[in-house]
Each structure stands twice: as structure tokens, then as C-alpha cells.
């Protein structure tokens, strides 16, 4: 396909303030040293189509948080971080080890750190305190760039402030913490709501997911869906990932086992039919210099062009060896010059 217009679709269809978020669709968590290394090896193999978050909260034994921080820093700065898409989860800002973990990870690895995940924020004040502490350490280490922050919405306070959290300039993504959110209801939400299927059926859980997704999209940030713990049941994972993407508007999802990575990427990848349709419409729109067109007896203009361009961007971000791929001519025309 030859682009007939010298202007890239991104420049025509989106203002600088409304460029869509472009994080990988899968966020893989690992906290045990051997699994952390294997996760980075898988990422090196597949490419930067998923992030690896090295877990310093649940992955660290009680009292061993600082030692875990050193392990994380070592891996982030190692050759295993082949694509620069490795982040770290620290303990909550209220935890006595928070500042110590931040000191170790940011000072040793801040220059190569993709992001820091802040768990259990209980509202905007917690996020602001965490950001200030991280920035203070970064400045002391001579790191000029603001380190992107992700946060877990898993408390009543965080859900109450979810729009303010999403709008915070340092936030790149908000994740839903299903297990802690259910536990915060003191037994009022049944255990079944933590299952792959039940989390899409209980009204309070679905409400929380929708609030997070809506807040993120309003602020131009990435909503990240919670885990599926039944990692030995790929069909349940596939169903949950598909529903998260198709019904609830999530553009990213957690993985907690290497076997979940490819199914999540595939579930968030547009279908071949969707990609073919998007290619045809964008090519015709470009040939018409972005004026309205008719395609298959349906009128399209810049509003729908934005949608179909985003289909192509999602397909590009989820392309990996052995997985779905955009046609070579589309990659050359739109993506490879920017890769």
C-alpha cells in the first residue's frame, strides 16, 4: 500500500493533546527471582509486546523488601532488559519500607525503569505523596525525566478519587486490584466474585471496573484489567480477556503466569476482519485527503477514521513473532519509520 498523502494519519486525526495511549496490552507480574528472569527472557524472545513488572510487594517476603529492591534494580539494569519495558511494583506509600525501596530502585535503575507501580493508594493524597517522594529521590540521583507512575485502584478511597487519580499528570495507567477490592467489603461480596466468570457478574465489581475504565479514557490514560487466578484454565482466561477488552473498554490486562501472556495479547488484538476493514477505510480516506468517503454503502468521516486508525495501532502494538501480524506494506507505510 502506498500512502498518497505525505501527512501521517496520526497528525491528521489527533491533536497533540489527544494522542491515544500506547502501552503494551499485557502487563506480566513476577516476584520470585527465577520467574523474574524467565519473564525477561520471554520478553526478549517475543519483543516489547508485553511489559514485565518486577514485584517488590507480593513478591518480597515480610522484612525482605529492601533485598527484593536490590534484586529488581539488578535485573532492570541487566542485559535481560532488552527492550526497556520493565517496571517495578513497590510497597504502598504508607509502608515503612516504601522510601527505602524507592531509594534503591530509583537510584540504581531509575534511568532504565519503564514505570513504578504504586499499590493500595487510598486516594489522591497518597498518589501525590508517592510522586513527591519518587521525584525527590530521582532528582538526587540526577535523573531528569519524570518516571511514569501506575497505580492500583483496590480501596474505597481510590475508587472514590478515580477520576482525580487518572487525571494526575504523572499517571500513565490505572489497574484494578480485584482481590483487595473484594476483601475491602468485609465479606459483603462473595468469594465467587474473585473468579474468572464471577468478576464479570457481581454488580459492585463490574461498577468498579467501569469507573476505572471510564476515568482512564477521559484522561487519556490506560485502564489495566485485573488478574485471572485460574492460570491452568486457558479458556477462562481467554473469555475474561475478551470480555475486558470488548465489553468494559480495557486496553491492557495483568498476567501472573507466562502461559497467560500470549492469550492476553491475542485477546486484545483486533481480528483479521477488523484489520482488513481498517486498512481499506484508512487507505480510501487518505486517498480522499481525509474528506468523507463511502465504504460498503456506509458513510465515514474523520470521527470513524480515528476509530479505524486506532484498530491499526492496536494491531501494530500486538504484533509478535508467531502471533498476528500486520501486512508488510501497512507496516512500511505507517509504522516502521517510527519504530
Q: Is 116 in a helix, a strand, or coil?
A: strand
Distance of CA 226 to the CA centre of its chain: 11
For residue 322, what pLDDT is reported?
64
The Cα 259–Cα 234 span in angstroms is 8
For residue 8, what pLDDT is reported?
86
Checking if the pLDDT of 82 tops 50, the result is yes
Checking if the pLDDT of 2 tops 70, the result is no
Q: What is the pLDDT of residues 142-165, one digit of tens each?
A: 999 999 999 999 999 999 999 999
Checking if the pLDDT of 190 tops 60, the result is yes
Mean pLDDT of 213-231: 95
Angle between helices 33-46 and 65-76 (to 10 degrees): 20
Q: Hey, CA dihedral for 81, 74, 63, 118, is it positive or negative? A: negative
Q: Is 207 exposed, middle or buried (0-12, 13-18, 19+ CB in 10 A)?
A: exposed
Q: Which of 252, 228, 257 is nearest to 29 (CA)?
A: 257
Mean pLDDT of 50-57: 97
Mean pLDDT of 191-219: 97
pLDDT bracket for residue 5 (50, 70, 90):
very low
Angle between helices 272-287 and 302-317 (to 10 degrees): 130
Mean pLDDT of 4-31: 81
Q: Is 260 in a helix, a strand, or coil?
A: helix
Checking if the pLDDT of 18 tops 80, the result is no
Mean pLDDT of 251-256: 97
Strands (DSSP E) contained in 119-268 are 149-153, 171-176, 222-225, 252-255
For residue 339, what pLDDT is reported?
44
For residue 14, what pLDDT is reported?
87
For residue 326, what pLDDT is reported?
83
What is the C-alpha radius of gyration for the chain, rounded to an integer number of angstroms?
20
The Cα 245–Cα 310 span in angstroms is 14
Distance of CA 114 to the CA centre of its chain: 12
Q: Which residue(s) pair with 300 in the sheet?
A: 293
Mean pLDDT of 210-226: 97
For residue 3, what pLDDT is reported?
45
Provide long-range contacts, Cβ within 8 A and 24+ apart, for 15-18: 17/220, 18/220
How many Cα atoms sit within 13 Å of 24 on the Cβ side?
A: 28
Q: What is the pLDDT of residues 306-333, one digit of tens each?
A: 999 999 999 988 887 666 678 888 988 8
CATH 3.20.20.60 in the chain: give the residue spans.
Answer: 16-267
Q: Which of 60, 153, 149, 56 is nearest to 105 (CA)?
A: 56
Higher-confidence residue of 136 and 61: namely 136
pTM reported for the whole predicted model = 0.91
pLDDT bracket for residue 127 (50, 70, 90):
very high
Q: Is 58 exposed, middle or buried (0-12, 13-18, 19+ CB in 10 A)?
A: exposed
Higher-confidence residue of 61 and 86: namely 86
pLDDT bracket for residue 21 (50, 70, 90):
low
Note the CATH number of domain 16-267.
Answer: 3.20.20.60
Distance of CA 74 to the CA centre of its chain: 23
Q: Hey, CA dihedral for 230, 236, 241, 247, is it positive or negative? A: negative
Mean pLDDT of 275-280: 95
Amino acid at each position: 500500500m502506498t500512502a498518497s498523502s505525505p501527512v501521517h494519519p496520526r497528525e491528521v486525526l489527533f491533536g497533540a493533546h489527544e494522542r491515544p495511549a500506547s502501552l503494551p496490552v499485557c502487563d506480566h507480574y513476577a516476584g520470585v527471582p527465577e520467574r523474574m528472569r524467565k519473564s525477561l527472557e520471554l520478553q526478549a524472545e517475543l519483543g516489547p509486546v508485553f511489559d514485565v513488572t518486577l514485584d517488590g510487594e507480593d513478591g518480597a517476603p515480610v522484612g525482605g523488601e529492601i533485598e527484593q529492591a536490590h534484586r529488581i534494580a539488578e535485573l532492570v539494569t541487566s542485559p535481560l532488559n532488552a527492550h526497556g519495558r520493565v517496571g517495578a511494583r513497590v510497597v504502598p506509600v504508607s509502608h515503612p519500607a516504601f522510601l527505602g525501596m524507592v531509594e534503591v530502585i530509583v537510584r540504581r535503575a531509575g534511568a532504565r525503569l519503564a514505570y513504578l507501580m504504586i499499590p493500595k493508594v487510598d486516594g489522591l493524597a497518597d498518589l501525590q505523596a508517592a510522586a513527591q517522594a519518587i521525584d525527590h529521590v530521582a532528582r538526587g540521583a540526577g535523573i531528569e525525566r519524570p518516571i511514569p507512575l501506575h497505580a492500583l485502584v483496590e480501596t474505597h478511597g481510590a475508587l472514590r478519587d478515580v477520576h482525580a487519580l487518572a487525571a494526575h499528570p504523572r499517571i500513565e495507567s490505572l489497574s484494578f486490584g480485584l482481590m483487595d477490592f473484594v476483601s475491602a467489603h468485609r465479606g459483603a461480596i462473595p468469594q465467587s466474585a474473585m473468579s474468572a466468570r464471577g468478576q464479570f457478574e457481581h454488580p459492585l465489581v463490574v461498577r468498579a471496573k467501569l469507573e476505572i475504565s471510564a476515568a482512564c479514557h477521559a484522561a487519556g490514560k490506560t485502564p489495566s484489567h485485573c488478574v485471572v487466578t485460574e492460570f491452568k484454565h486457558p479458556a477462562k482466561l481467554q473469555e475474561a480477556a475478551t470480555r475486558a477488552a470488548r465489553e468494559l473498554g480495557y486496553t491492557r490486562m495483568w498476567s501472573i503466569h507466562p502461559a497467560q501472556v500470549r492469550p492476553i495479547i491475542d485477546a486484545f488484538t483486533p481480528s483479521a476482519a477488523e484489520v482488513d476493514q481498517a486498512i481499506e477505510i484508512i487507505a480510501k480516506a487518505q486517498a480522499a485527503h481525509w474528506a468523507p468517503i463511502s465504504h460498503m454503502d456506509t458513510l465515514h468521516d474523520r470521527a470513524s477514521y480515528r476509530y479505524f486508525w486506532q484498530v491499526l495501532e492496536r494491531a501494530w502494538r500486538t504484533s509478535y513473532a508467531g502471533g498476528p501480524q500486520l501486512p508488510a506494506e501497512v507496516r512500511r507505510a505507517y509504522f516502521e519509520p517510527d519504530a
